[in-house]
């Protein structure tokens, strides 16, 4: 999932470089959402994984 966040971030940067503001804003928004979901899942996995060991 972190891979997809990075991909959308790169798409946003390239779109912003070429002047496509709407596409850049959309891709940056998706990248932010995916990154937040990744962080939440990583923390949950860390917490619940330590309980098993």
- Tens of pLDDT along 10-49? 888 888 888 888 888 888 898 899 999 999 999 999 999 8
Are 13 and 23 in contact by the 8 Å Cβ rule? The answer is no
| pLDDT score recorded for residue 44 | 92
Q: What is the mean pLDDT of residues 3-15?
A: 86
> At 18, which helix (H) or strand (E)?
none
d(CA 50, CA 23) in angstroms, rounded, equals 41
| pLDDT of residue 53 exceeding 70 | no
d(CA 37, CA 43) in angstroms, rounded, equals 10
């Amino acid at each position: 999932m972190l891979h997809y966040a990075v991909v959308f971030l790169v798409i946003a940067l390239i779109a912003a470089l070429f002047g496509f503001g709407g596409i850049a804003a959309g891709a940056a928004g998706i990248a932010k959402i995916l990154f937040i979901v990744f962080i939440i899942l990583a923390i949950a996995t860390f917490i619940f994984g330590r309980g098993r060991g």
